Structure 1
Amino acid sequence: MRPLDIAFLMDPIGGINIHKDSTFAMLLEAQARGHRCHYLELADLSVRDGKAWGRLRPVTVKREPGAHYQLGEPAHRPLAEMDALLMRKDPPFDMDYIFASYLLEHAGTWVINDPVSLRNANEKLYALHFPELMPRTLVSRHIPQLREFLAEEGEVVVKPLYGRGGEGVFYLHTGDRNVGSILETVTGTGRHYVMAQRYIPAVRDGDKRILMVDGEPIAGALLRVPAADDFRGNMVAGASAQPAELTPRDREICARVGPRLRQDGLVFVGLDVIGGHLTEINVTSPTGVQEIDRFFKTNVCARLFDVIEARLS
């Protein structure tokens, strides 16, 4: 395989945690294969005369805290000169992110994940294509309707459609005198849609992150077990990481979701599964690579770059 030119559009590289960051693992793998890596941030994107350009800097990385990267001189280059571009900007999924996806439509090269699908595949709502795999779910901004759903279920989790890392996610149960205030807060007094889902008690055993490469699951999964004083299975919310094998139900979920991911150009995706129920499909910079590699002695990024090289060969 000839050396490829691969651009990584990501958050500031100086601030990443090299022991956890999945993009850092991708850079290491690409570099180990002899590919030329180029670094840019969101502010480095532009479109001139219908063609996307980037302020690209050659980047080399090494697993050395405090000296983990070295950048070359920047150069404005058409993104079409790259063999592929990995869109690895972390959420929040705000208007700047959306506008960047529009610019990337003019890249003239393969963007991973597909920028149109990044816009269309909201990480909460995309799972609605598979209602039979999900817990009972309501998307609404109508507070009486949300109250009615809570009364039917007894316990629900309510989350904003644009959140990340468990931000703004609430557990509600009938009899809680804070219900009205919480629903007013998360909906902006009825101005914003939220997702309400039946609470799954199995979350106490962990929220399973399954990584998908080209529609196929990685062999092992990351189980994020909530802290004793929290219900959220998010690492940034204090959840602990444990290894987890894929169950037959997990594989059933992957088999149902995988073809749609391939159809939509979503090459690298993280599924969230709680108690055998699909809760979210993460397409914007999914994480968990390094934890899974440590637990299972795998190389997730090798699988990803096998797919990239095969497509570009």
Structure 2
Amino acid sequence: MQIAFVMDRLEGIDPVFETTAALMYECNQRGHSVLFLEPHDIYVRRQHIVARMKDVTVARDLSIKQYWDKAVARQQEESISFEELTELDALFLRKDPPLNYSSVEFLAPIRNQVFMVNDPFGMVLGNSKLYTLNFPDLTPETHISRDPSRLRKIIDNFGGDMVIKPLGRFGGQGIIKVSTRDPENLNSLIHYYVGAHKPYADREQIMVQEYLKGVKEKGDVRILMLNGEILGAMCRKPPDGSFRTNIHAGGKAFAHAITARERQICEQIRPRLLADGLYFVGLDLIDEKLIEVNCVSPGGIPRINRLENIRMETRVIDFVEQMALARKQSRQAALK
């Protein structure tokens, strides 16, 4: 099969801890043609969606580091394959957040012709922190506004610690804990985050959410889901002096046994994920409450593999092969 990955430059990736690298390695091991492109490589030629792609297929049975070094070398070669994207068997959309809306617009017209992980329309919906509002009974108390006085009143009325989250950031960036115990700084922080000096319509909306105290001791839980089923999970605990559990913010990963309640949450959101074409996602939970749905390049496979002595990428590629073959057979039948 020809399987392409829309992603970031290979040179800046540590393959040992990168989920995309694990997926590409597994494709290469199976003898598939592995193609690399960046969002800006997609364009239109005579009404057809095409792309500048690099073939980064290399020899099999290398270590992950050896494989990656050779893939990077292939990507740096001058040869470029200009192909119609509809000739691909599968396309992974693995560009790190934020979502590249331009590439999504290019891919939308062919979303039913190539199997994509994840569906472009679904990624537009799931990319936002607002996606969790589809499951209000599963989330902590949540408010969103760009009005400083309203936000201050929400925090005052709540009476306990809350978390401020800018809607457009990722990887734990800009997330802070606030309370009424420091009212002077609280007002300044709210005004800063919304951009209160701007006209009301130009301000940034921010999320104010109940602070779940369990995050300090127990951390959060990342659950990876594939086609609506649990693929694996890990616990992430924050470093000393912080409540942010993101690995990029210094969090550490530990093995995690999924609870009955966490399974119920996954079952409850499963139909919506599948309806939106979000086949491979990462759920973040704290104290058995849903915090975020990650559908833009969700990570965690290499770390969970090490913690559980498994290889989750094999299940992902099994699924993609099955879906790609079924779509190809369906298209062939429609042409008869």
Return the TM-score normalized by structure 2: 0.87
Preserved CA contact (<8 Å) 2:219 2:245: yes
The alpha carbon displacement at 1:123 in A equals: 3.7
Is this contact kept in 2: 1:123–1:280, CA < 8 A? no
SS of 2:121's equivalent in the other structure is: helix
Report the equivalent of 1:208. 221
SS at match of 2:56: strand
The residue correspondences of 1:1-313 to structure 2 (distance < 5 A) are: 4-60=1-57, 62=62, 63-64=64-65, 67-69=69-71, 70-71=73-74, 73-93=79-99, 97-107=100-110, 108-153=113-158, 154-176=160-182, 177-189=184-196, 191-204=203-216, 205-218=218-231, 220-313=232-325
Give aligned pairs, total.
Answer: 306
| 1:214-261: CA deviation from partner (whole Å, max 9, x where unpaired) | 11112x412111111111111111111111111111101100111111
- Greater Cα offset, 301-310 or 245-254: 301-310
- The alpha carbon displacement at 1:84 in A equals 1.0
**Unpaired stretches in structure 2, ≥5 consecutive residues:** 326-336
Bigger mean CA offset, 253-262 vs 144-153: 144-153
- Which segments of structure 1 move beyond 3 Å, counting only runs of 4 or more? none
Q: Write the letter of the residue equivalent to 1:25.
A: A
Q: CA deviation at 1:48?
A: 2.5
Equivalent-residue separation in structure 1 for 2:168 and 2:19 (angstroms): 21
Task: State the percentage of identical aligned residues.
Answer: 37
Which amino acid is 2:230 matched to? Answer: P
Write the distance in 1 (CA, Å) between the matches of 2:168 and 2:98. Answer: 7
User: Aligned partner of 2:233: which letter?
Assistant: A
Amino acid at match of 1:261: L
Deviation at 1:68, TM superposition (A): 4.8
SS of match in other structure, 1:106: helix
CA shift digits 1:133-167 (9 cap, x unpaired): 00000111111221122113221001011111111
Specify which structure has the higher proportion of strand: 1
Structure 1 stretches lacking a partner, 5+ long: none
Tell whether the 8 Å contact from 1:86 to 1:112 is kept in structure 2 after alignment: yes
Structure 1 Cα separation of the partners of residues 310 and 70 of structure 2: 22
Answer with 1 or 2: which has the greater Rg: 2
Residue identity opposite 2:322 in structure 1: A
2 CA distance for matches of 1:118 and 1:6?
19
- Name the aligned partner's letter for residue 79 of structure 1: L
- Whole-angstrom CA distance in 1 between matches of 2:152 and 2:46: 51
In structure 2, relative to structure 1, the CA distance for the partners of 1:150 and 1:53 (3 Å cut) is same
SS at match of 1:249: helix
Compare the two structures and name the one with the higher helix fraction: 2
Paired with 2:220 and 2:273, the residues of 1 have a C-alpha distance of 21
The TM-score, its normalising length taken from structure 1, stands at 0.94
Tell me the SS of whatever aligns to 1:228: coil
